Amino acid sequence: MAKALLQLIKLEFPDAVLETHSQHGDDTVVVEPGAWKAVARFCKEQLAMEMLADLTCVDFLHREPRFDVVAHLHSLSKGQRLRLKARVGDPEGEHAEIESVSELWGSANWAEREAWDMFGVVFTGHPDLRRILTYPEFVGHALRKDYPADRIQPLVPYREVDNIEKLPPFDQHEGMSFGRQTHLASRGDD
């Protein structure tokens, strides 16, 4: 049934669709990066792909374009799935840029941040594109295939932060395994 979706996308975007394929029940459409957001909008609004289940990147080190940006879409109302891909970036990993789909699906916000943090793909128009899994001083993008496994990151000075109060139900011992045991024991909990 989802193969019909591929045909609808081909009819609507004949110049933007680079290829389609179906394998093991997974239907995939690969589009030009410039048409990424328009095709995504069409999938959401016309094909009832209400859910963005995942958005990530795949690094093909010796290929140009180097990265596949991959979105896994799901229609909850029709029970259909579709994989949307676009290829971006030169062999050095530069100029890897594509439009953000975070205004279409809220779940794209963190997924795009993760893809930028780990692979360096820039999502233009993203409302808050900053690191999400690594710290701000981290150098490079850790899931690129050319990222050295033995690379040592710069040391970050300890950050003194004053006046941080945790809101209920958390207390001053939350997140501190060594303090939690004594805290619970002092309350008489078993």
CB 104 within 8 A of CB 133: no
Q: What is the pLDDT of residue 164?
A: 61
Domain ranges across the chain: 2-160
Helix/strand/coil (H/E/C) assignment for every residue in 47-71: CCCCEEEEEEEEECCCCCCCEEEEE
* pLDDT value of position 181: 45
Burial class (CB in 10 A: 0-12, 13-18, 19+), 107: middle
Contacts of 4 (CB under 8 A, 6+ apart): none
Q: 71 or 173: whose pLDDT is higher?
A: 71
Instruction: Provide the pLDDT for residue 132.
Output: 92
Buried b (16+ CB within 10 A) or exposed e, 110-120: ebbbbbbbbbb
Is residue 61 predicted with pLDDT exceeding 80?
yes
Q: For all residues of the chain together, what is the average pLDDT? A: 87
C-beta neighbour count of 2 within 10 angstroms: 19
Q: What pLDDT is stored for residue 120 in this prediction? A: 96
Whether pLDDT at 2 is above 80:
no
Q: What class has domain 2-160? A: alpha beta
- Residue 57, C-beta contacts closer than 8 angstroms, at least 6 positions apart: 67, 68, 69, 70, 115, 118, 119, 121, 143
Strand pairing category for 67-75 and 51-59: antiparallel
Residues in Cβ contact with 43 at an 8 Å cutoff, skipping those fewer than 6 apart: 5, 9, 49, 73, 82, 84
pTM of the model: 0.79
144-180 pLDDT tens trace: 999 998 888 877 776 666 666 655 555 666 554 444 4
Give me the mean pLDDT over the 82-111 stretch.
95
Show the DSSP H helices in the chain as ranges. Answer: 2-12, 36-45, 108-119, 177-187
